[in-house]
Structure 1
Amino acid sequence: MARIRLLPDAVINQIAAGEVIERPASAVKELVENALDAAATRITVTLAAGGRDLIVVEDDGEGMDHDDLHLALERHATSKLTGVEGLAAIATLGFRGEALPSIAAASHLAIESAPAPGAGHRLEVAFGTLTASRPCSRGRGTRVEVRDLFLALPARRKFLRSPETELRHVVATLTALALARPQVALFLDHGSRRLLALPAATDLQHRLADLLGPRRASQAVQVALARERLHVTGFLLPGMSPRDSILLVNGRPVRDRLLTAAANRALHAPSGAPLGATWLHLELPADQVDVNVHPAKAEVRFADPGAVTAAVTAALAQARQTGATPPPVRRLVVIPTAPSPPSSSAPRLSQPPPVRASEATSPFSAPHPFGRLIGQYRNTYLLLEDEEGLLLVDQHAAHERVLFEELLGRSTSAPVQRLLLPEVVDLPPARALLACEHRATLDSLGFEIEEASGSSIRVLGLPAGLPPTEPAKLLRRILDDLADGVAAGDTPRQRLAASLACHAAIKKNRPLQPREAEELLRRLAATRDPHRCPHGRPVMIRLAHGEIEQRIGRR
């Protein structure tokens, strides 16, 4: 008896749906791309529970009649290809004819469409089975309603994230599509909130202002490079994370490893410090790029990848030079020829304060258990000695541990350092959603924020006792850490506290006065784990006296 058999159509459809539709954002992407291919000028997306429970995409595009509407639900039925030669030069966003059948196989789907105002048609499908077909009255265009995505596929549904996380993925997807087609009006509603309101824009600069706010958009540096058959346009966005970069190829958002690697290299200084994000659009002949790589159509292959990466690198390098600011003028310090003797109230770092005879129980006594402070090595490490040898303490890691535990130990009534003037921070829409999602946790740590207009967040206060810092930069960095998943901790509160402590802690290459260093060591001694920072790095290392003598040759 044969062990190999043909799978039923229902199983085939659900397997294929898993390739095309990974999460609600995938369904939104496919439906909006269909609307753009249908020459829509206005698209409205409505969600419930981040798209897990409801997705509605409505457009004013060309629409479909009764026959086309039925055919659209058949796998590999499309109006965008007529033969194999079309695969060599694909100019539309969709072409595989898999999106609608895949969504219909994984949800309750209702679609109604009309090629002209008046008589239209409506179809209803329940997890791949057509349940209703009837005429309807509507305007020109198409409306697709998706409910209960993956409800019949519990193995897939359980891997969906929280509604807030799924919503952020949808916002990121729509942001990329909005940049690809600035001339199309795009709106996103979630529950009773309008999260994106992007009217049709005459150019990308206006669309940038709608997405990031006028102030942030004014800081963008234009990217423009034209070569024989390749054009690179877009913006370099200082102050944003390179992970927020968006890459478009012939109007299609892509996740190409080659392009991403080239952009990341150009977006980091030689020291490794990030220089910002980029929103780039590459235009090249359709026969020079293959988009038929994966069912999700997010990966591409280039006929000449070397030329593409060289163009991206050159375009970003040119933009970096254009947007570079002159180096700051350093203050001149005149060093006296003969140092003045230290005052009695401010002992030198090499001389600890005098200790009374009654307290001098040990030459290494100190107000903490780490030993006597000798000095600071390269303005980065505190050098101490005790009975066992030398101790080298990383001042940044030590302060990070102190701030982390102090933030987590805050009570709800702990004081907050109010800003004299609240600072408005313009963020990408997905980052603004992330800030709102974690607002209560931030408030519990003393970092008070509130929503402003659009995708802006207003910073009202910082945790009392936090070192002086720039609130806008601090907020952006901790949101980047959350989005990238690099913050340490098991709970959102721990991750936020770790990120906040890391970015607020004193940095390397900063001189510390003896009293500052002693106070830091005293606070470190009061922590539960003074030997490791929240990320797991060691705070201190020890050089035993015996090891020192052995290396010197005394033993």
Structure 2
Amino acid sequence: MPQIRRLPDNLVNRIAAGEVVERPAAALKELVENAIDAGASRIDVALRLGGLDGIEVTDDGCGMTADEIALALERHATSKLPDEAIEQVTTLGFRGEALPSIASVARLTIESRPRDRDEGWRRVVDHGRLVEEGPAALPPGTRIRVEHVFANVPARRKFLRSPRSESTACHDIVRRLAMARPDVGFSLTNDGRRIFQVQPGEDLATRVSRLIARELAGNSVAVDVMRGPSDAPVRMTGIAGLPTYNRGVADHQYLFVNGRPVKDRLLIGAVRGAYSDMLARDRHAVLALFLDVPPSEVDVNVHPAKTEVRFRDPALVRGIIVSGLREALSSGDRRSAQSPDPAAMGAWQREGAQPTFATALARDNRHDFAAQAFGGQPWHPAHQPTNPPIWRETERAILADTGFEPHARAEETGDAPGDAATYPMGAARGQIAETYIVAEAADGLVIVDQHAAHERLTLERLKAAGAEEGITRSQPLLLPEVVELDEADCDRIEDAADKLATFGLAVERFGPDAMLVRAMPAALKGGDPHSLLRDIADDIAQNGDALLLGERLDLVLATMACHGSVRAGRRLSVAEMNALLREMERTPRSGQCNHGRPTWVKLSMGDVEKLFGRK
């Protein structure tokens, strides 16, 4: 029988490093978190070769004495827990594993000076061995250098990615931490090149927009809601992008719990549920949400890297995200994308660039007027007269001879509303291609996609009717359906049976690996219970709760709305167009269709004047 023995400290540290320091970005995260916990007002990060050759973090925090530096390099030594109440932890780092773990797989240099000391102290540990220590000259604060990560552990070194990939990971870490603390200044450089720099004291919206995308500031709404008991409320702040401002991947969703960046399935699933009827399934919202939860209501010690958390009341957290986002979007979602696409604006044609009349006629093989105008010869650009006035006379003559004149219906319109805040959509002036409504607002020109707009209006009416009449009522099945699933999937659905019943889906256990479906939601009448339960089980496994059924109901209603909406190609009267504009102004989420595309765009008068060279 093999003998049980204690592992040596250096091996224990290397094993811990496998959990805490799997790549340079993980080491950087621990160092920056320590700097934040030290009360720094400015943190500078410098990388070499994306962190593979070196990481340097400099802060102006409280600093450490020589004895504190030595103690900080011992396992599970920390200043973050003054007592044994680990459930009350409020700092980012508290496990006491980071520094000894990093020092066991890299060359670590710590230089630090407290504010009340005239000189600092320096300590160098190379892959677990103390190689140098002594006085150091530096300003108050701490400077830590990590060099040659995994140089003596080739088995780990070969699994690191390219310098570009490691640099991207480090960039993401610092960016997330900088978002969480707008009161702290950050700078990040890689191989001497400045990646970003933000100043301390910025407001949250400005900091987030600078770090994600500057255009987010004009395409987002502020979020600030509070839920829960008065003695332990949960607050959510941040900014949420309009559904029209979306991305193809979810990498631009930044979630924080008590200032700690997290990637939690519960939170990600709740965000997806909040945007479920405003985005296509393959599009993702852009946002940054900050949850402030009482420390006793959240466990941050469930993952070595502290990227996952566990809530005492997950339903409360999920509810504040879904309802809070929808409430915030309802206050600003009548807006569309704040400006037309730059490529579309660049496509406007000006005098001298637009096709000539004869060019347009020559393209249309139904007419040979252009050929007749040139003596029966096929028209060619070289045949176009060089004298513009004479050419215009030729155009007028052709129109007079052939009767090929543009026709349009004229209808009296009213004055444009003068209050841009109350009537942002303005008054209808006409219809283009029987698809787009052109309206004049007090502050610009509005173009509306009539089908996309009416689709959203119809969906909101269906949802409102469902809230009053019970759109998710059950439709009992004539013969209950037996759905065979894995036992684990059956367990998940059985645990969520009560929640599913509120959506109109009645299920019960039918043996170890099957579920019995007795009723379906009325809105899903005729649907396949087998595929529905499989999708729900997959969604519960991925997101921790049955959000998919609610999304499916929204998708069903969206399909009904699409078929019941004003179609493109339908000619509308001015009264109908104005009625549509007024309803858009009253309806939540009217700025985007059910797939996240804008229902309208606005050209300011300044934009229009630029098109004609007036500005």
TM bucket, shorter chain: 0.5 to 0.7
Instruction: Describe the SS at the equivalent of 1:138.
Output: coil
Aligned to 2:514: none
1:232 aligned residue (226, 230, 236): 236
For the pair 1:102 / 2:101, whether they are aligned, the reply is yes
CA–CA distance in structure 1, aligned partners of residues 22 and 328 of structure 2: 36
**Pair 1:133–1:265, CA change in 2 (3 A):** same
CA offsets, 1:57-96, max 9 Å, x none? 00000000011010000010001113322x1111000111
Equivalent runs, 1:235-314 vs 2, <5 Å: 235-237=239-241, 238-240=245-247, 241-269=249-277, 271-274=280-283, 276-314=285-323
CA–CA distance in structure 1, aligned partners of residues 212 and 78 of structure 2: 36
Does the Cα contact within 8 Å between 1:267 and 1:277 map onto a contact in 2? Answer: no
Aligned to 1:179: 179
**Pair 1:510–1:6, CA change in 2 (3 A):** farther
TM-score by length of 2: 0.52
Does the Cα contact within 8 Å between 2:179 and 2:211 map onto a contact in 1? Answer: no
CA–CA distance in structure 2, aligned partners of residues 323 and 154 of structure 1: 54
After superposing on structure 2, the runs of 4+ consecutive aligned residues of structure 1 that deviate more than 4 Å are 344-347
Deviation of 1:173 after TM superposition, in Å, equals 0.9
2:111 maps to a residue whose letter is E
2:333 maps to a residue whose letter is A
Deviation of 1:346 after TM superposition, in Å, equals 6.5
CA offsets, 1:146-178, max 9 Å, x none? 000111121211111111111111111111101
Q: How many equivalent pairs are there?
A: 335
For the pair 1:147 / 2:147, whether they are aligned, the reply is yes
Task: Please tell me whether Structure 1 or Structure 2 has the larger radius of gyration of its CA atoms.
Answer: 2
1:99 maps to a residue whose letter is A
Does the Cα contact within 8 Å between 2:205 and 2:238 map onto a contact in 1? Answer: no
CA–CA distance in structure 1, aligned partners of residues 225 and 13 of structure 2: 44
1:252 maps to a residue whose letter is R
Aligned to 2:396: none
Deviation of 1:345 after TM superposition, in Å, equals 4.5
1:312 maps to a residue whose letter is I
RMSD in angstroms over aligned alpha carbons?
2.4
Deviation of 1:103 after TM superposition, in Å, equals 0.7
Does the Cα contact within 8 Å between 1:185 and 1:200 map onto a contact in 2? Answer: yes
Aligned to 2:559: none
The runs of 5 or more residues in structure 2 that have no matched partner are: 338-363, 368-566, 570-615
Deviation of 1:294 after TM superposition, in Å, equals 1.5
Aligned to 1:384: none
Deviation of 1:214 after TM superposition, in Å, equals 4.1
CA–CA distance in structure 2, aligned partners of residues 203 and 345 of structure 1: 61
2:192 maps to a residue whose letter is S
Aligned to 2:414: none
Aligned to 1:168: 168
Aligned to 1:50: 50
Equivalent runs, 1:76-87 vs 2, <5 Å: 76-85=76-85, 87=86
For the pair 1:222 / 2:222, whether they are aligned, the reply is yes
Instruction: Describe the SS at the equivalent of 2:130.
Output: strand
2:32 maps to a residue whose letter is V
CA–CA distance in structure 1, aligned partners of residues 336 and 268 of structure 2: 29
Aligned to 2:332: 323
Instruction: Give the stretch that moved more between structures: 288-297 or 235-244.
Output: 235-244
CA–CA distance in structure 1, aligned partners of residues 270 and 136 of structure 2: 51
Instruction: Describe the SS at the equivalent of 2:110.
Output: strand
CA–CA distance in structure 2, aligned partners of residues 233 and 57 of structure 1: 29
Does the Cα contact within 8 Å between 1:242 and 1:267 map onto a contact in 2? Answer: no
CA–CA distance in structure 2, aligned partners of residues 130 and 323 of structure 1: 58
Instruction: Describe the SS at the equivalent of 1:146.
Output: strand
CA–CA distance in structure 2, aligned partners of residues 294 and 276 of structure 1: 26
1:175 maps to a residue whose letter is R
Deviation of 1:212 after TM superposition, in Å, equals 4.0
2:195 maps to a residue whose letter is L
Instruction: Describe the SS at the equivalent of 1:195.
Output: strand
The runs of 5 or more residues in structure 1 that have no matched partner are: 329-343, 348-508, 512-555
CA–CA distance in structure 2, aligned partners of residues 326 and 62 of structure 1: 46
Instruction: Describe the SS at the equivalent of 1:10.
Output: helix
Does the Cα contact within 8 Å between 2:50 and 2:167 map onto a contact in 1? Answer: yes
CA–CA distance in structure 2, aligned partners of residues 44 and 243 of structure 1: 24
- Percent of pairs identical after alignment? 44
CA–CA distance in structure 2, aligned partners of residues 144 and 59 of structure 1: 9
2:236 maps to a residue whose letter is V
Instruction: Give the stretch that moved more between structures: 26-35 or 208-217.
Output: 208-217
Deviation of 1:510 after TM superposition, in Å, equals 12
Deviation of 1:113 after TM superposition, in Å, equals 0.4
Aligned to 2:450: none
CA offsets, 1:456-492, max 9 Å, x none? xxxxxxxxxxxxxxxxxxxxxxxxxxxxxxxxxxxxx
CA offsets, 1:110-153, max 9 Å, x none? 11101026311000001111111111122110000000011112
TM-score by length of 1: 0.57
Instruction: Describe the SS at the equivalent of 2:144.
Output: strand
